[in-house]
Homo-oligomer: A and B are copies of this chain.
Amino acid sequence: MATIRDVAKLSGFSVATVSRVINKNGYVNPETERAIVTAMKTLNYKPSAAARSLAGKSSSTIALMIPDILNPFFPELARAIEDAANEYGYTVMLCNSDNNLQKEMNYIDVLISKKVDGLIVASYSLQPEHILNLKQKSVPVVVVDNHFDSLPIMAFISKNREGGAIAAKHLLEQGCRKIGHICGPMNIQASRDRSVGYEDVCGRLHWFVPSLIVQSDFHVDGGYKAMVELLSRHPDIDGVFAGNDLMAVGAMKALYHKGKRVPDDVKLIGFDGIGVNTVVPELSTIAQPIYEIGTMAMKRLVQMIQGEAVQEHSHELDVKLVVKQSTVIDEAESESA
């Protein structure tokens, strides 16, 4: 591996000058530059990232911490963030935490020791103190898919409450007269907000009873079980809003097994905008602007890394109702189950 000194020697200039052309800063004669670039090429020189970051320069690496890589929502987010990161010249280190506080703290230590330039975090275990602590160590952090009220923490999250309300309204508009809700874990802010949205709309209707809400865990199997429970409590249910798409898929499977047809007997809507692609019949959902969350988070992170004084607070992004087959009876294609 050629070093900066080799390049200096071959080109006949000093390491400082070579460093200048690498970093494109400081004055350097065009001819000199050309000579140096040539030397770098012939030596196939690649600066050592380790050395640069040791010498005080950034590592050009950011980390992304997610709770569950098996939930398609996060790969999509990761994809968006990676694309954006590449654009800014960063590589991303992906950390899957299993939503386990211990693992997360451990990762954070490792990441700091690796001198990552910044951190994008999707976590439901980390407390505000942890984030603030990081900031104190001057590690830029931006939170996604979660937020901390009125704390100076940069966060990007969808309008979950509004989304929950939109979902409920949509079911109502499709003629549902008794709508159940499978909600996600209560320790997740986004999950709570979605439920509140549902209650905003359904809570005061004459048919509403608390037992129409079943709590679950954001996973397919959990959704299945919750749907079975819901059906046993309220066999006459004709609409279901699941707190995320994965649970909606589980619910769909349960309905299928119990002989209920979707959307004919029961209309079903999810949240996230991911499963849409892989279920039959396709799932109506409240789509989050996943890609946008990713790019905005990355953009802000870069600003923070570069020391710009950005206002740190929560940003709420618009969600979008995506109507598919699971909530609409469409004569044109209702040929089979």
User: A-side interface residues toward B, CB under 8 Å?
Assistant: 1, 46-51, 53-54, 59, 61, 69-70, 72, 75-76, 78-79, 82, 91-96, 107, 109-115, 137, 220-221, 224-225, 246, 249, 252-253, 256-257, 259-261, 275, 277-282, 333, 335-337
Contacts and interface: CB of A to CB of B under 8 A. Distances in A.
B224 A337 contact: yes
Nearest to A325: B256
Nearest to A265: B336
B79 A96 contact: yes
A236 to B, nearest CB: 18
A69 B78 contact: yes
Contacts of A277: 220, 249
B114 A61 contact: yes
A300 to B, nearest CB: 21
Contact of A261 (B72, B249, B257, B336): B336
Given A69-B75, A75-B75, A220-B277, A282 B253 contact: yes
A282 B92 CA distance: 35
Contacts of A50: 50, 53-54, 59, 114-115
Given A46-B112, A50-B54, A249-B278, A78 B61 contact: no
B72 A113 contact: no
A253 B224 contact: no
A123 to B, nearest CB: 16
Given A61-B93, A252-B280, 13 more contacts: A46-B112, A46-B113, A48-B113, A48-B115, A49-B113, A50-B54, A54-B54, A69-B79, A70-B76, A78-B96, A91-B110, A225-B337, A261-B336
A235 to B, nearest CB: 15
A93 B96 contact: no
A333 B257 contact: yes
Contacts of A112: 46
B61 A70 contact: no
25 contacts: A1-B137, A46-B109, A46-B112, A47-B113, A48-B115, A50-B50, A50-B53, A50-B54, A50-B59, A69-B78, A69-B79, A69-B82, A72-B72, A78-B96, A79-B96, A82-B96, A91-B93, A221-B337, A224-B337, A249-B277, A257-B333, A257-B335, A259-B335, A278-B279, A279-B279
A126 to B, nearest CB: 18
A279 B278 CA distance: 6
Nearest to A110: B91
A137 B2 CA distance: 12
Contacts of A107: 91
Nearest to A53: B50
Contacts of A221: 337
A139 to B, nearest CB: 11
Given A70-B75, A337-B224, A337-B225, A249 B280 contact: yes
A92 B94 contact: yes
The 5 closest A-B pairs by CB, nearest first: A94-B94, A259-B335, A49-B114, A49-B113, A50-B53
A53 B94 CA distance: 20
A78 B54 contact: no
